[in-house]
Amino acid sequence: MKSALYEAGNHDELLLSMTVDQAGVSGGRLKIADPHGTSLFDSAFDGGDASAALEAMFTWLREHGFLSGLAAAGHRLVQGGPRHKDPQRITPEFLSEMEQLVPLDPDHMPAAIRGIKFIAGKFPGLPQVACFDTAFHSSLPRVARMYALPRRFYDEDIQRYGFHGLSYEYVMSELHALEGELANGRVIIAHLGSGASMAAVKEGKSIDTSMGFTPLEGLVMATRSGDVDPGVLLYLFGHKKMSAKEMNALVNKESGLLGVSGTSGDMKVLLDNIHQDARAGDALDLFCYRAKKYIGAYAAVLGGLDVLVFAGGIGEHAPVVRHRICDGLDFLGIHLDVPCNEADAALISASESRVRVRVIKTNEDLMIVRHVLSALGWTNA
């Protein structure tokens, strides 16, 4: 669980960042840092559920005087369903509607709803705003949204929604500031972190994205499989007698980088071990191969490419990964400046590169702050 406290004035100033490791598990740990990353609090807390984590966090905030001016709370909701395309103030009726979407995302939605209810209980009059991770992809054309299943399922909202929308939205706002009109051209954004996805953006709108009905589809991730033949799951179900619960754990928690390497889903750990561990090398190779394949596909969908952006923890901090993904894509006009790439520079394309290649640090928290201000009609919305 990640949270941040902002002074939402003229500069949207970050005051605190807060993380809970193993939220909902006995032995959780609360970490609070200042805007420079200096630790202000790092301690275990008692309790075996997410409410205990929130209780510990708000207790510290109250004891240190951070709650007296609390004006609003914004929440990242992974799933907005087919109807919700804009940030929305949370009401009891809205919350009931969100509970109906839990089957679309049973891994994230229940915890988000519990957090909303917890804050409503603590601060009954506090405005709360829902920000949807699917909203950025509401512009997907029908052909990119549909699965080749019987039409009745599409009519029942079984379709490709896409995720990481808050990150893509922030990256595009930064790209407009950096590149001006070029940001309205043909753009591919690779959000590479423990959860990884890619988006094809044309004229500022998402026209395709790698994640689909759930965040499972698409790229290789830390513990998620990404694309896999549905027949594999049918085989596991029919011949290996795996239950739905076991298969859910398999593709969400036991696959991806972790599954291929057999040791870790952390890219940094794998990069440290690739020379002595062949399976770590396999995991890296598969991660980069799948990303490269999607870049080629999305360049075709876009009709060419003007800008490639790397974002997310891996995209921002792993030069080896960026190099391997871009290697061999010179036919698309992609050429990296090796020293700039190694230095994690903001612009890593060579002078002769027809495609601008950038590294942009994403900031979903700040995007939520902006949406909260806008939804509530406050200053600098």
Q: Region 34-50: what's the mean pLDDT? A: 86
From residue 36, alpha-carbon distances to 33, 161, 362 in Å are 8, 35, 16
Q: Region 8-28: what's the mean pLDDT? A: 79
Q: How far apart are CA 226 and CA 87, in angstroms?
A: 28
Coil, strand, or helix at residue 198? strand
In the numeric block, the tokens 């917890």 are attached to 118
**Which H/E stretch holds residue 372?**
helix 364-376
Confidence of residue 381 (pLDDT cuts 50, 70, 90): very low
**Which H/E stretch holds residue 31?**
strand 29-33
Q: List the one residue out of 311, 321, 255 whose CA is nearest residue 289.
A: 321
Cβ contacts of 238 within 8 Å, gap of 6 or more = none
133 among known catalytic residues:
yes
Positive or negative CA dihedral for 74, 80, 86, 90? negative
Q: How far apart are CA 350 and CA 372, in angstroms?
A: 39
Q: Region 346-375: what's the mean pLDDT? A: 96
Confidence of residue 160 (pLDDT cuts 50, 70, 90): very high
Residue-wise DSSP of 261-278: HSS-S-HHHHHHHTTT-H
Q: Region 224-232: what's the mean pLDDT? A: 97
Which amino acid belongs to residue 63?
A: E
User: Are 305 and 332 within 8 A, CB to CB?
Assistant: yes
The predicted structure's pLDDT at residue 379: 64
The predicted structure's pLDDT at residue 27: 65
Q: Region 241-267: what's the mean pLDDT? A: 97
Which amino acid belongs to residue 153?
A: F
The C-alpha torsion from 119 through 121 and 123 to 127, rounded to 10°, is 60
In the numeric block, the tokens 């500022």 are attached to 204
Positive or negative CA dihedral for 30, 164, 285, 174? negative
Q: How far apart are CA 317 and CA 329, in angstroms?
A: 21
Q: Region 256-285: what's the mean pLDDT? A: 98
pTM (two decimals): 0.94
Residue 241 pLDDT > 90, yes or no? yes
- Where do the domains of the chain lie, and which CATH numbers do they carry? 2-138 (3.30.420.40), 179-359 (3.30.420.40)
pLDDT in tens, 58-69: 999 999 999 988
Q: Classify each residue of 286-300 as buried b or exposed e, where b means 16 or more C-beta atoms within 10 Å of its C-beta.
A: bbbebbbebbeebbe
Q: Is 66 exposed, middle or buried (0-12, 13-18, 19+ CB in 10 A)?
A: middle
Q: How far apart are CA 168 and CA 188, in angstroms?
A: 10
The predicted structure's pLDDT at residue 82: 87
Q: Region 327-351: what's the mean pLDDT? A: 98
Residue 282 pLDDT > 80, yes or no? yes
Selecting among 12, 34, 42, 133, the annotated active-site residue is 133
